[in-house]
Amino acid sequence: MSKQAQHWEKTRGLLIVTLAIWFVFSIGIFLFGAEMESVGGPFGYPLTYWFTCQGSLGIFVILIFWFANRQEKIDEEFGFSEKGDD
Amino acid sequence: MIKGNFIDNLPKVYGIYTGGFLAFIIIMAIGEQMGMSAKAIGIAFVAFTVAIYAIIGYLSRTAQADAYYVAGRQVPTVFNGMATAADWMSGASFVAMAGGIYFKGYGYMALLVGWTGGYVLVASLLAPYLRKFGCYTVPDFIGTRYGGNLSRFLAVVVLTVASFTYVTAQINATGTIASVALDIPFQYAVYVGLVSILLCSMLGGMRGVTWTQVAQYIVLIIAYLLPVFWISNKMGAGFFPHFMLADEVARIADLEVQFGLGTVTNSAADLATVPKGLAGITKAHSAVNATPWAFISLALAMMMGTASLPHVMMRYFTTPSVKAARKSVGWSLFFIFLLYSSAPMLATLSKLSLIDPNLATGIIGKSISEVQAIDWYQNWNQANLMFVSDFNGNGTLELNEFFMGGKAVVLATPEIAGLPYVISGLVAAGGMAAAMSTADGLILAIANALSHDLYYKIIDPKAETAKRLVVARVLLVVIGFAGATIAAMEIQGILGSVIWAFDFAMSGLFFPLVLGVWWKRANREGAIAGMALGLASGMGYLIWVRNGGSGFLGITQLTFGIFGSAVSLVSMVVVSLITSEPDAATQKMVDEVRVPAGKSILGKH
């Protein structure tokens, strides 16, 4: 397999992991909104309420930075990263 | 004071700017103590901030295509993040979001999840690849990846439909704020708002818009967060509201039971006496009040719409590299998160301060005549944003007898909580900044698509740069005036048309963009089918439901993009597979797009 094909395979793998996490916190947990309601969440908010106003939102921010770093590592591994600028 | 290159000095420049703005707020506060009138403070806030944006717009003037279309591709990640956040957060986010949460609770908060989760799709599926492509506009990508004028033209059509729906709402919002702050009729205020918007973008294009958007973000985030923290501290709810309002949320839930929320209802005859546009508290504040599908479908539509809206995507064309584009998406969402996570806190504080009988500001349980005598009640009643009526004739104000406009949550809460007027002036400046920055991004997206893709690429490929930029600027003004004219007619509400814009964008553009990068087999015929049938079926569904159609699968007029994009996906895949695969050159182009290193497909960066 060529270097480029390997790079793309890893990139696609990272995409699948990223989208899976995204799916859980944007869609998956809200299938159980009513069930999570009686559970206490961080800072004493009801868990469902906390996810809608802080939890999911904050997780997305962290997820994007994590994704960006992983993708950079993949690009470097195959020598495909850009040089110089940032 | 400032030496060397502008880009290297950005932190210093905006640091001084932020300090200057804070100093201005303090001067206004001193002015208020010395007897400056509320009206003068409002005018000073709006005039001062708009003047600063205009100066930045003038200093960013340019005659180069690269600077005009993509700000020279040298905007650092963090600053591009701020600019994107301002570009993204519109008058609706600033003025209407807290109100929506206040009145609709959980079901509405799907928008918070959707409008943030979409950035994960932007970062992972699209932004870095489109940056590598090196295009000026989103249709530029479609036109080059799939080839042919028809595909480029259809992308321009989808972009224009979605963005134009969105922009009228933003010009409407600038007009509303300008008319209140400057005390002039709405029909004229709309054009004052428009001129302010054009001052930012006309001379410098994307470069001017970028640097004004950063300035606008700083104003709008200060204007949103300062009152939230101040009110929370004043009420004794906690010095950092985001982590400390659990008791307040629980207290509201208790009060809802105590006041008989959902059990005491109003008769249709009583409701008919309530002024149009005002709503009562009829839904639980924090409890789950929507079915999973209602919540998820709305969130999903907003997420896919986010990834298809061209005015957001084109912000990532301005970063220096592919790597920077990815990081920049993270910063964008971080800056958006600061405001979005505060909106539910503002809604909580605002609601509790009005309904808790134990608080001095609480009005529920007081006598109707007492409430009607309060100064702020009279002001906001006159502005047609607040209304009470003694339906059951017991002389006491009940929860179901209190009505308010959604905008009042952001606009009136500082006054109700007893904050000085200078805060209300600041909030007006923040709302203006939010609406202007989004309107600028949208008008520029439409004008650039028409000037670059329609005029330069399709009609006159030999046009010189100077001529292209004249065309771009003329279009900017024409589109702005068209938007303002429609806004002046006041056809739709702000929030409804914003949500439609997302649905239009996702119907026509989501899959043609994503598959352009992720599916090599996607070809021109497929993309054309995907865009044309996606947009047409989404629009058809909207018209059908608006005219009394029953809809299916619980897809409403707010989520019709789910149907449109499904049709788009199926038709794009089917048509691609029954026609021949893209030529070798196109396949090679896709391979190159997938790798950050090396030259961009178009241009020299």
Q: What is the pLDDT of residues A40-81, one digit of tens each?
A: 888 888 888 889 989 999 999 999 999 999 999 998 888 888
How many domains does the structure of chain A reveal?
A: 1
A23 and B CB contact within 8 Å: no
User: What is the predicted pLDDT for the residue at A26?
Assistant: 93
Asked whether residue A18 is assigned to any structural domain, the reply reads yes
Greater pLDDT, B77 or B495? B77
Task: Please check whether residue A46 lies inside any domain of the structure.
Answer: yes
Question: Does A28 reside within a domain?
Answer: yes
B356 φ/ψ sector (left φ>0, alpha ψ -120 to 50, else beta): beta
B287-294 average pLDDT score:
84
Q: Is the pLDDT of residue B261 over 90?
A: no
Say which residue the tokens 């944007």 belong to.
A26
Within-domain flag for B578: no
The average confidence (pLDDT) of chain B is 86
In a domain? residue A85 = no
Find which of B116, B298, B318, B336 to mutate to test the A interface (most A CBs within 10 Å of its CB): B116
Q: Decide if A5 touches B, using CB distance below 8 A.
A: no
> What is the domain extent for residue A29?
3-77
Per-residue pLDDT for B155 more than 50? Answer: yes
One domain for residues B312 and B245 = yes
Residue B515 has pLDDT above 90, yes or no: yes
Same domain, B211 and B81: yes
Instruction: Tell me, yes or no, whether B191 and B282 share the same domain.
Output: yes
Looking at residue B490, its pLDDT comes to 65
Collect all residues of chain B within an 8 Å Cβ-Cβ radius of residue A61. 116, 330, 333-334, 337
pLDDT, position B470: 80
Q: Are residues B12 and B138 in the same domain?
A: no
Domain total of chain B? 2
Question: How far from chain centre, in Å, is Cα B511?
Answer: 23
The β-bridge relationship of strands B402-404 and B386-388 is antiparallel
Q: What is the mean pLDDT of residues B388-404?
A: 84
- A84 has pLDDT over 60: no
Mutation target for B interface from A4, A52, A59, A73: give the one with most B CBs within 10 A: A52
What's the number of CA atoms in the CB half-sphere (13 Å) around residue B86? 30
Bridge pairing between strands B279-280 and B386-388: unpaired
Contacts of A30 in chain B (CB under 8 A): 110, 113, 292, 295-296, 299
Instruction: Report if residue B600 sits inside a domain.
Output: no
Instruction: Reduce the DSSP state of residue B461 to 3 states and report it.
Output: coil
How many helices, marked H, and strands, marked E, lie in chain B? 28, 3
* Interval B536-557 mean pLDDT: 86
In our burial notation (b when 16+ CB lie closer than 10 A, e otherwise), range B19-43 reads: eebeebbeebbeebeeebeeeebbb
B366 part of a folded domain: no
Query: Is B397 domain-assigned?
Result: no
Residues 6+ positions from B326 with CB-CB distance below 8 Å: A64, A67, A68, A71, A72, B123, B127, B128
Give domain status of residue B355, yes or no: no
Q: How much of chain B exceeds pLDDT 90, in percent?
A: 25
pLDDT band with cut points at 50, 70 and 90 for residue B1: very low
pLDDT in tens, B101-112: 888 888 889 999
| Interface check A85 vs B, CB under 8 A | yes
Same-domain status, B16 and B138: no
Structure tokens at B531: 């865009």
AA letter at B490: E
| Residue B341, domain member (yes or no) | yes
Q: Among B243, B292, B300, whose Cβ lies nearest the Cβ of A33?
A: B292
Tokens of B66: 């690269």
Residues B21 and B87 grouped into a single domain: no
Range of the domain at B5: 1-36
Q: How confident is the model at residue A86 (pLDDT cuts 50, 70, 90)?
A: very low
C-alpha count within 13 angstroms, C-beta hemisphere, residue B30: 5
More confident residue, B542 or B488: B542
Does residue A82 form part of some domain?
A: no
CA distances from B178 to B142, B187, B478, B554 (A): 38, 11, 21, 39
Q: Is residue A17 part of a domain?
A: yes
Give just the sign of the alpha carbon dihedral A29, A34, A40, A44.
positive
Q: What percent of chain B has pLDDT over 70?
A: 98
CA distance A81 to chain B (A): 5
What is the structure's pLDDT at B117? 94
CB B208 within 8 A of CB B61: yes
Residue B81 within any structural domain of the chain: yes
Could you tell me if residue A84 is inside a domain? no
pLDDT of residue B565: 94
Residue B410 in tokens: 């952001």
Half-sphere exposure of residue B117: CA atoms within 13 angstroms, side-chain side = 32
A17 at interface of B, judged by CB pairs closer than 8 A: no
Mean pLDDT confidence for B269-281: 81
Q: Does A52 touch chain B (CB under 8 A)?
A: yes
Reported as a single tens digit per residue, the pLDDT across A8-41 is 999 999 999 999 999 999 998 988 888 887 888 8
pLDDT at position B605, please?
A: 46
pLDDT tens, residue by residue, B204-222? 888 888 999 999 999 999 9
Q: Is the ipTM of this complex over 0.85?
A: yes
Q: Does B600 touch chain A (CB under 8 A)?
A: no
Q: Please check whether residue A10 touches B, CB under 8 A.
A: no
- B575-604 tens-digit pLDDT: 999 998 888 888 888 888 888 877 777 765
Classify residue B511 by its DSSP letter: H
Q: Bigger pLDDT: B16 or B269?
A: B16
Give me the mean pLDDT over the B238-260 stretch: 82
- For residue B112, the model assigns a pLDDT of 92
Report the C-alpha gap between B75 and B80 in whole angstroms: 6
Q: How many CB atoms lie within 10 A of CB B547?
A: 7
pLDDT of residue B492: 58
B319 vs B486, residue with greater confidence: B319
Instruction: Report if residue A21 sits inside a domain.
Output: yes
Asked whether B245 and B279 are in contact (CB, 8 A), the reply is no
Contacts of B247 in chain A (CB under 8 A): 44
Flag whether B450 is in a domain: yes
Q: What is the pLDDT of residues B348-376, one digit of tens each?
A: 988 888 888 888 888 888 888 888 888 88
Q: Which residues contact B485 (CB under 8 A, 6 or more apart)?
A: none
A4-8, B122-126, B475-479, range with the lowest pLDDT: B475-479
Q: Are residues B21 and B162 in the same domain?
A: no
pLDDT for position B358: 82
